[in-house]
Amino acid sequence: MFKALVLEQDGNQTSSQIKQLDESNLPVGNVTIAVEYSSLNYKDGLAITGKGRVVQSFPMIPGIDLAGTVSSSADQRFKSGDKVVLTGHGIGEKHWGGMAEKAQVNADFLDPVAQGLDTKKTMQIGTAGLTAMLCIMALEDAGVKPEQGEILVTGASGGVGSVAITLLKALGYQVAAVTGRPKNTQTLETLGAGRIISRDAMLTDNKALDSQLWAGVIDTVGSHILAKALSQTQYEGAVAACGLAAGIDLPTTVMPFILRGIKLVGIDSVYCPYERRLIAWQRLAELLPASFFELACEQISLENVADYAAKIIQGQVKGRIVIKL
């Protein structure tokens, strides 16, 4: 038997309950994992509260990432005792996810825990941290260098934003952080933000072309704020877009692209190729300081998840939330 948070649906109502399940209930997979940690992401919050159409079938164990120890494997790439991490690939949506003491998955979904990390630190980074690293790699690929100017990070108080600020600081970039929560100013500055910009300043009327302010942008919210950031990006700058917390619309024009030659790069961490994931995880292990894990992460139990899911949807969660299984 193992403990799990189980989502069920009655009509349009989603409910969550902690249950004891038999291992025979585990879905088909060629690797079985004793899950040690999962984490709470915005997408998990949507699934657990029923505020978004994330879950594709019920009952469902939520959790879009997990880290733990292989207990059995029918795939030669992994053996009993290996430390592994799984992010994306539809877990918590199409396949049972990380908020359970056991998981059974396809070996293709798994990565080895990077040298220098353990399972807890890996989940303190989680999908959000992996996404942040992929955003920075996209800016680097586009030729954005520290000496070219500030990098704007929107949704800075969230999981992706807090990791992105820390990584950018470690790489020598200057960071301007956008947040709607002034009380988080000190934390963001400690992580590495050189200055704080009010979210309200990014919600003013958009121009087709605004003043050139940012060498690059990491945007986690989309909609009007992404459009504003695009209009303010410097000539031949780049914007990495990875989120839609403010909406899926994009009220912009072609002007920044054809008159300033900027690049808009979409970041997908769900089905990111294995080789690129390995590079990202190793760089995370090397770049994140010990202070990040102390400052930007909070640990909860499975019993706390429902309350924190409601908070993350309401924008009341700071940094990364790790679930100890």
* b/e sequence 53-67, b meaning 16+ C-beta within 10 Å: ebbeeeebbbbbbbb
Return the amino acid letter for 75: D
Enter the tokens of residue 245. 């917390």
Please give the tally of structural domains in the chain: 2
Q: Stretch 297-308: mean pLDDT, rounded?
A: 96
pLDDT tens digits along 37-69: 999 999 999 999 999 889 999 999 999 999 999
pLDDT of amino acid 319: 85
- Alpha helix stretches (DSSP H) within 50-117: none
- Answer whether residue 195 is part of any domain: yes
What is the dihedral sign for C-alpha 12, 7, 163, 323?
Answer: positive
Q: Stretch 209-221: mean pLDDT, rounded?
A: 97
**Rounded Cα–Cα distance for residues 158 and 76 (Å):** 38
Domain that holds residue 177: 127-266
Q: Stretch 212-226: mean pLDDT, rounded?
A: 97
What is the dihedral sign for C-alpha 292, 124, 153, 277?
Answer: positive
For residue 309, pLDDT over 90 is answered with yes
For residue 315, pLDDT over 90 is answered with no
pLDDT tens digits along 81-135: 999 999 999 999 999 999 999 999 999 999 999 999 999 999 999 999 999 999 9
Together in a domain, 252 and 132: yes
Together in a domain, 95 and 133: no
Q: Stretch 144-163: mean pLDDT, rounded?
A: 95
pLDDT of amino acid 294: 87
- Answer whether residue 19 is part of any domain: yes
Largest CA distance in the chain: 61
For residue 75, pLDDT over 90 is answered with yes
Residue 138, domain CATH: 3.40.50.720
- Answer whether residue 231 is part of any domain: yes
Together in a domain, 152 and 248: yes
State the average pLDDT for the chain.
95
Together in a domain, 67 and 137: no
**Rounded Cα–Cα distance for residues 218 and 166 (Å):** 13
- Answer whether residue 248 is part of any domain: yes
- Answer whether residue 136 is part of any domain: yes
Together in a domain, 180 and 211: yes
For residue 227, pLDDT over 90 is answered with yes
**Rounded Cα–Cα distance for residues 242 and 220 (Å):** 5
